Amino acid sequence: MTAVSASHLSKKYAKVQALKDVSLDVSEGDIFGIIGPDGAGKSTLFRILTTLLLADEGTATVNGLDVVHDYLKIRAQVGYMPGRFSLYQDLTVEENLTFFASVFNTTVQANYELIKDIYQQIEPFKTRRAGALSGGMKQKLALCCALIHKPSVLFLDEPTTGVDPVSRKEFWDMLKRLKKEGISILVSTPYMDEASLCDRIALIQEGLFLKTDTPQNIVKAFDRELWSVQSDHMSRLLTDLRMNTEVESCFAFGDAHHVTHKHTFLKEEALTSYLKNLGHSNIHIHQIQANIEDCFMRLSDTKSL
Ligand code: ADP
């Protein structure tokens, strides 16, 4: 069964084309990731699928229900954690949870089992105002609030943005547990390293899906040799590599530059001597496996050609 289905969705705000002909299918019980930078159109897509915004073109269903005609039914069946402002900052942890339960005509007790593991981590702070919680705790409370009416589909819009790495890992562990409960999850993130935690992903840029597949297949489909290049002058190295006529693309990735080249084989020695002649020292060049971010850069680069 398909939990969420979107077909050719487009949305424009004045002159900004926020979504362009986007289609997706989320299978029941899957974690589906929408991966892309700020402004890519993730929130717009989430707001359409959660019935809060009308698309200009295209159709979408959640649990087989149409987002336009059956919006009230959909709202009762989904949980939505928007990117910002989902909690009432002046209410305490406990009050926020009780409030969200009452909005859905239920009680915290009725569905406590589903949120127990997550809620127990913030329970010691239940009398603290939400506004005074740390990022990681806010995120856990927001997830509890989105789950309190036992939704079958969860929409999580950038739940880990601005959250520390430990809390981010804990959050993904929680999502895995919810998946085991049979909940389908659509989650967006700007962090490419979170892609591998999803069953399927769509890479989004400027409102367009660049690719939709499993993270493994996307990485497998990277159609070039990829090389890591380092030297003592990393910022100048970027410019010098891009000036090299053999180099096809070069992007800065943490402590190395990732390079693809125009020929079948990289002429490693030729590149080394080219860099030495330009005054680089401590040159390290080795072949590496592409990750999702490399794929994203390559796909967006190809798109702009
Ligand atoms: P993301 O969630 O990936 O950051 P958004 O869906 O929020 O992306 O935004 C997509 C594009 O649409 C951006 O260029 C953003 O500035 C623009 N946008 C979003 N909401 C509005 C709005 N209400 N009015 C005008 N432009 C908007």
pTM, two decimals, is: 0.92
189 in Cβ contact with 40 (< 8 Å): no
Q: Do domains 2-214 and 223-289 have the same CATH topology?
A: no
Question: What's the gap in Å between 44 CA and the centre of ligand 1?
Answer: 7
Question: What's the gap in Å between 200 CA and the centre of ligand 1?
Answer: 24
| Dist. CA 240–CA 192, nearest whole Å | 27
DSSP state of 136: H
| pLDDT for position 135 | 85
| pLDDT for position 162 | 82
Mutate to test the pocket of ligand 1, among 10, 20, 44, 56 (most ligand atoms within 8 A of CB): 44
| Dist. CA 54–CA 59, nearest whole Å | 10
Two tokens at 195? 């892609």
100 to 84, 93, 123, 128: CA distances (angstroms): 16, 11, 16, 17
**Domain boundaries in the chain?**
2-214, 223-289
Mutate to test the pocket of ligand 1, among 9, 12, 13, 210 (most ligand atoms within 8 A of CB): 13
Question: What's the gap in Å between 43 CA and the centre of ligand 1?
Answer: 7
Two tokens at 253? 């990735």
From the CB of 39, is ligand 1 less than 6 Å away? yes
Two tokens at 256? 């190395």
In this structure, how many other beta carbons lie within 10 angstroms of the beta carbon of residue 231? 22
Q: If you classify domain 2-214 with CATH, what class do you get?
A: alpha beta
Question: What's the gap in Å between 273 CA and the centre of ligand 1?
Answer: 46
Mutate to test the pocket of ligand 1, among 19, 43, 80, 160 (most ligand atoms within 8 A of CB): 43
Two tokens at 56? 């200009």
| pLDDT for position 305 | 43
Options 3.30.930.10, 3.30.70.100, 3.40.50.300, 3.80.30.20; CATH of 223-289? 3.30.70.100
| pLDDT for position 265 | 67
> Mean pLDDT by 10-residue block, N- to C-terminus, for the chain (305 residues)?
96 97 97 97 97 98 98 95 84 95 91 90 94 89 92 95 86 93 96 96 97 97 93 95 92 93 78 94 95 94 57
| Dist. CA 84–CA 108, nearest whole Å | 23
